[in-house]
Copies of this chain bind each other. A is one copy, B any other.
Amino acid sequence: MPATTRDLPHPDLADVELTEVLFALSDPSRLELVRLIARDGPQTVANCQAVDPAALKSTFSHHLKTLREAGVVRNVPAGRQRMVSLRRDELDERFPGLLDSVLRQAETRARRRDQSRVT
């Protein structure tokens, strides 16, 4: 596949509306993915898929597209794979405090969930 078709469009954060970002983060699988990338750093698309192994590949692709089009993640070729990273600095500049607040809540939620699995 030539490099050009592997390059996906990424919006300028200045053109992204707050409501688009809120919508992108409003799905449990998408939020979980953003939480993991925020915690562990950029991930391959294959690793990202592990967030919700039961999801159809098409559903998962749609989630990645929604996050990319809302300016939340970058999805770029890296060798034979693709890497997904969080556009954290840009998001923090455009929407100060938003991602921090959402991720703090998501972490609390994930901790509660993990604790209830253990007990």
- Chain A interface residues (CB < 8 Å from chain B): 17-20, 22-23, 25-28, 31, 95-98, 100-102, 104-106, 109
Q: Which residues of B contact A109 (CB under 8 A)?
A: 17-18
Residue from B18, B27, B96, B97 within 8 A of A19 (CB atoms): B27
Contact flag A102-B98 (CB < 8 Å), given A23-B26, A26-B22 = yes
Complex CA–CA separation, A104 to B104 (angstroms): 18
Question: Do A26 and B31 touch across chains, with their CB atoms under 8 A apart?
Answer: no
Q: Smallest distance from the beta carbon of A12 to chain B beta carbons, Å?
A: 16
Question: Do B102 and A100 touch across chains, with their CB atoms under 8 A apart?
Answer: no
Task: Specify the chain B residue showing the minimal Cβ separation from A108.
Answer: B18
